[in-house]
Amino acid sequence: MKMKQINVKSIDEIREEMIETVTCSKSDIFQIGEQCRQDYENMTNELENIKQMMGRLMKEGVQLEQQVLEARGMLSEVSMNFKQYSEEEVRDAYEKAHQLQMDLSINWQYKKQLLDKRDDLERRLLGLDETIDRADQLLTQFSVVMNYLTSDLKQFGEVLENAKAKQDFGLKIIEAQEEERKRLSREIHDGPAQMLANVILRSDLIERVYRDKGPEEAFSEVHSFKKMVRSALYEVRRIIYDLRPMALDDLGLVPTLRKYLQTIEEYHNHSKIEFVNIGLERRLPTKYEVALFRMIQESVQNALKHANACQIKVRLEITNAAITVLVKDNGIGFDTNHKKPESFGMIGMRERVDLLDGEITFDSKIGKGTAVLICVPLIN
């Protein structure tokens, strides 16, 4: 017994050391990523300045070339009719042609330096972009390792008999959480955050338009401004719906599904989503509404993202004894006997159905779409 306690203590000490090492490494990688982002922003600004300077030099170069041609023509005229010009005029013609040629040479050299610097900045930006992506990937992997190290793996042992399956399942859960956080972060950054930044810029523009061009032009800008704000609000609402629609708590499953599917159809305007409710439209216990909404949401998202479906039909039937859901699409389908890495969503759906003592079946053939059938008994 004493030897066993010592071994457990040693394992815990090793685990703590690993956690500390991973934590320090994760912090270092985060600092590297942030520094790379700052350098990327600075280099981007510098590159923009160089491009503006090159534009100005190009214009100046064109003007200088024209002036050099004119000066050479004058110099040729002076040379051919040497006796008709004074010594001072001849000297001025030579000096002017020489000075313009020098200015053109300096302009060309400066452009060449800027061109080399531009090419170097673009190469460095490409390298920084790859470093930032790699840092993000490593941070996600470190988060997976940290969560796994700090979890009580014994609890998984009670559920999963096979040690390898236990490890894969635990890592898959954590990895999915990290990917969802990353996806949500990017959606907010690329959507509402960018739009709101544009709102600030457009508000300043409206003020300038009002001062410079009058109220009619300003009113036109306000109209465009309102469209931008509506678009930003739509993006925020879509993200909220993806997380958890507030209407699910207030109105129940059927109205929330109807609104959610309508919103998704508008967002994916190339796809047609039909929702049919042929049963009772009544409130269900929270666990049923949340689980069914998530399963339908997962099925529809799979059809749009993975199956490239352009027609999706969602049929819901609620009776006093059971709930039946059918989600059918005309996508590319898949082989139900072939286990793919991205089948984690199907595993999650099976888990939800099992918690409700229900059944779920996937009927799909390659090239002939997919049908997901969910049957859940209602326990009074």
Domain assignment present for 39 = yes
| Integer CA distances (angstroms), 64 to 61, 99, 101, in order | 5, 10, 8
CATH of the domain at 319: 3.30.565.10
Mean pLDDT across the stretch 120-126?
Answer: 87
Structure confidence by residue, pLDDT tens digits, 228-259 = 777 777 677 666 656 666 667 778 889 989 98
Residue 1 has pLDDT above 70, yes or no: no
Same domain for 261 and 373, yes or no, is yes
Same domain for 9 and 119, yes or no, is yes
Q: Is the pTM of this model over 0.85?
A: no
Task: Residue 92: give the domain boundaries.
Answer: 2-150
Structure confidence by residue, pLDDT tens digits, 162-217 = 445 445 555 565 565 566 566 666 666 666 666 666 777 767 777 777 777 777 77
Domain assignment present for 142 = yes
Domain assignment present for 196 = no
Single out the residue in 121, 150, 179 at which a domain terminates: 150
67-72 contacts: CB < 8 A, separation 24 or more? 67/100, 68/97, 68/100, 68/101, 68/104, 71/96, 71/97, 71/100, 71/101, 72/97
Q: Kindly give the pairing relationship between strand 272-277 and strand 311-318.
A: parallel
Number of structural domains (the chain) is 2
Cβ-contact 355, 291 below 8 angstroms = yes
CATH of the domain at 24: 1.10.287.1490
Domain assignment present for 217 = no
| Integer CA distances (angstroms), 375 to 6, 22, 361, in order | 51, 44, 9
Angle CA(56)–CA(57)–CA(62) in degrees, nearest 5? 105
97 Cβ contact partners less than 8 Å away, ≥ 6 residues apart = 68, 71, 72, 74, 75
Same domain for 146 and 248, yes or no, is no
Instruction: Look at residue 160 in the predicted model and tell me its pLDDT.
Output: 43
Domain assignment present for 172 = no
Angle CA(197)–CA(200)–CA(203) in degrees, nearest 5? 150
Single out the residue in 124, 150, 176 at which a domain terminates: 150
Single out the residue in 150, 172, 204 at which a domain terminates: 150
Structure confidence by residue, pLDDT tens digits, 315-367 = 999 998 999 999 999 988 887 776 554 456 677 788 888 888 899 999 988 88
